[in-house]
Chain A
Amino acid sequence: MNVPTSPNATRLIVIGNGMVGHHLIEQLVALGAHRQYAITVFGEERHLAYDRVHLSEYFSGRDADSLALSNADYYAEHGIELRLHEAVTVIDRNAAEVVTDHARYPYDRLVLATGSYPFVPPIPGNEREKCLVYRTLDDLDAIRDAAADANTGVVVGGGLLGLEAANALRGLDLDTAVVEFAPRLMPMQVDAEGGALLREKIEALGVQVLTGRATQRIEDGETSFHRMVFQDDKVLETDLIVFSAGIRPRDQLARDCALEIGERGGIVIDDHCLTSDPAILAVGEVALWQESIFGLVAPGYQMAKAAAATLTEGDTTFSGADMSTKLKLLGVDVGAIGDAHGERTPGARTFRYLDEIKQEYRKLVVSSDAKKLLGAMLVGDNASYDTLMQYYANGLELPEDPASLILPSSDGAPTLGPDALPETATICSCHNVTKGDICTTLDAGALDLASVKGETKASTGCGGCAALLKSVVDHELEARGVEVDQSLCEHFAHTRQELYSIVRVEGIKTFSELIDKHGTSSGHDLGASSAPKLGSSSSPKLGCDICKPAVASILAACFNEPITDAAHVPLQDTNDTFMANMQKNGTYSVVPRIPGGEVTPEKLIVLGEVGKKYGLYTKITGGQRVDLFGAQLHQLPDIWGELIEAGFETGHAYGKATRTVKSCVGSTWCRYGVQDSVGMAIYLEERYKGLRSPHKLKFAVSGCTRECAEAQSKDVGVIATENGWNLYVCGNGGMRPRHGELFATDLDDAQLIRTIDRFLMFYIRTADRLQRTSVWRENLEGGLDYLKNVVLDDSLGLGDELEAQMQHIIDTYECEWANTLSDPEKLKRFRTFVNDDSPDPDIIVTEERGQLRPA
């Protein structure tokens, strides 16, 4: 599906396929520039652009594919030539060509996005074996190889990148130490008090911290591979050293072809990202704008946007970038806004709050009249970051007592109402979306959060602004008179979550009781006509096909009474009513449970025999089970009688409920397996079978990192590690695929089960109707961090309750088909006609590939 470019199209070459280089391509494609230019991209690494920000997760379960920002198809689809593993060695400006080991390539326009390289301090011995750097996936592979027979590791550098590297070493189970030259950690972001607190928190994780240490030399160790000798002749022995002491621009190509370079490196660019040669642009960490290098991804993206505009004659320019950052390093929140040290503005005043018990430190830097926020520093808790950032970025006047912004309050972090923000307030800094942009989108007809996200891309980068975006959108919609109607349907003016709470708190066990007590009066008050309808008092309150199944699911998740009981059966969708999946001709398919996909030959033979006897079309499902199609209503009890006789149970393929736990064969057979994935899959499936939820639930368990069970595309994915299990949540296949997110690592069996119990019950409590975990997660205010707080740290104190509730479901499990077969009253429904034993005469089948299918 190549995009045709005319043969004499302008040739654009991009050197570098890192995060910024890739973002540039995306910007160009968005502007349609791939039709105007013949684009060639060179990447020195083997890998396509990947997420360097989350590189340390490479050792905690993520692989190169899941870190990738794109795929080769994307480039091919847009007609962009991608030459990976091919380094440009020379830029020949006279001939307007770039040179690699393979060939010379002519260009009309050229963009340098070569990024930076790690700075290695000039310490004697720094070139020894097992002295490594931390920048690329190849670097990480080298670190992993070196760590194989190492027990200890040292990171030289206690800044942002150094702590990231330390996290990576911990991920490799090394006893880790950090050596920093400055007197404190993260000297750029935090002050002495903040640094001390940060140090305490990091040491509590078992990472040794040495500050104010200058390494003099590295030599052979006595007990370990290396010995580091410091200025005071003190020594530290370690098996592995990683240098992560800052970055330097990779500007050699530019130097060699005599582009203008800054005094301390970096290719000089103007507001259009143009270098001293107007045919050549530079973006990202290699570029020097007004004597500054920007070592963060967001400014790099802004440069990419400006460069794309320059190449397409657009208006966007680069006008500097705010270096405020919100980080989570080794699990510790660190935030720095603006002039966090208060050293750039004369007369600046500070407010400081330090809590040594909770280990939180917050500092405000304000103007001399205490009206404007100049900067802020946060350690241990970033909850107030977003609000402070808005004060800072928009120059808003501070409240009378600015200290209230950092003092603990009973209501949690103070937030700035969306109405207080000016139109120019940046809501999403990744995609540079202002409140004004959001209002424009709403005025143009967007009516909900999802369409605002789609139009503006707001909150689709790091996602840190999700809560703020939602409050702005809700507030603006309300201001426009759009009522954000959360009603489930005309019969209930409640959300699913509210109904769930009502059912639990009041112990309501039937739909009739719920609609009598909490339903809207006959649905009329939401109707178009305000005139009272004659005889409305006798109008039925029946509910509808929205609220009935939703309430049925809530009742099942709370009390787990059989859905076939007389009070519940009218609520169910047809699939649940008849415990089979209706197909297009009105017949059903039958899917017995096969936990973990493990089935004995004897049981497999029974499935074959049943299929044969009833003339059922037979197919293997994606969830490692067998689906038998074409059963008429009256045949279902006979079929199930035979299946239950053979030891099968219902598979809930018809329900918004636990479906399957897919597994690979695991350590019992596979030479790569590190845990018994089949055993765990069967355990999980037996545990959660019958659990009803807002939507279907799919699980998988893989026995090693090769991930043959595709667990990362499931609601709950479990991947074996040498030490236990890594848990992924909220993945999805289907129409909108979503990678599961790594939720917790190296759990033992009991921890894994407890975590899944809590996660599932929290989802069941809080999701909307028919909302898969993936969409729920994307709409969850506070995102993954919040979910981790609730489930792993029990921040809401709900843990015991969630577990108890799950235990109730497990204790009350009963096979619905077995229950039905034992009750003649329930079986009466399973008749094609209540007054005639004939089958449905309109069901006509034909043969195809040796099986029957609807004609």
Chain B
Amino acid sequence: MPTAPVTDPQGNVLPPGREGNTVVQWIKENLFSSLFDSLLTVISLLFMFFVLRLALDWVFNLAQWDVIAANINILMKGSYPGEQVWRIWIGLYLLGGIAGINLRAWNRELNRSTVTIAAIPLILALLPFASERARVNLIIIQGTIVAAYLLTSVAKEKRRRQIAAITSIFYIPALIFLLEGFTDENGIMPLVKSDLWGGLLLSVLLAAVGIIFSLPIGIILALGRRSRQPAISALCITYIEVVRGVPLISILFMGNIMLQLFMPQSLPPIDRVIRVMVAITFFTAAYMAEIVRGGLQAIPKGQYDAAYALGFSSLKSMRIIILPQALRIVIPVIVSQFIGLLLDTTLVALVGLYDLLGIGQAILSNPNWLGRSQEVYVFIGLIYWILATSMAFASQRLEKTLGVGRNYDGL
């Protein structure tokens, strides 16, 4: 509704909507501006009230959460032996370090959301049901985050992202080595066969490996597909289209059985978890390749012209000029692919691994916990939701960090 412009004492016209910005006014304007709006507001409020009341009633009165409390260890780490859990904690200390480096590298300065992300271990440690041991460990993790953040600040700004990328890539093999162990039973790090890994540990590990390794492989495939060498592009197209034409579950089965057949007999058999990791990574890489190709196509030809005219070789123009822009455009798509990957890891239960969902089902098949499926599934769903949402949130942060000046004037 048009109103007369508001002016300040000097007679300058003020921008609209600056006067009387109170809560009451907001409610009146947005919720009760007409009879129909008011009706809708009332109905929605009633509906929300009933749903919320039912949900809260279930959470606090009906649900029997003892099933989660009793099985929390197995939900978190599967059958990983209890006396070796310190290795998982060390892995998490290192993860804290990686997180600290990345937080420093990808944020220009400290802001509220960075601090919130960085303080997650501390928040967890303050939760009432955390055990004494978990509390100590979480505080150590908090320490490694802060220490890594401060140490990275010493490095030159240009180097920080390189450090972050390199440490992140080396972290995964190091973690697998740490969890797997290498000595016999009496040594300091006895072998823990990966069949025993499970629960949240396994789910996150599978997703992390897929996320970190599928993107570089996908970039190589996308560039290969656009290559002027017919042999290379044909190879990449075939790979991408074959993998995309097949459901993940069949690739998991194939990875589980066939990878073994391709390896020389003399080598020891590859671990099942590793096989599944390879399958997931190469499956996701095919989708990544198409996402990256989409980004590459969005870059105007003038960018190539300008790069070539300045004497950049085709490899350098791709690395320095084209790819950074193309990847930035497709961050939202890449992240939704990553979220899909995280949720798809639940399929590994079908090849005999016990991921978070698999453990949940195993618990439910125990007669002691008969009829607790709602509690278990709600808990598992909540964990997945938290993980997926934090990824989405992190991607928004990343877009903001990288998004400065990305638009042409008037384009």
A is bound by B: no
Interface residues of B (CB under 8 A from A): none
Residues in A lying within 8 Å of B, measured CB to CB: none
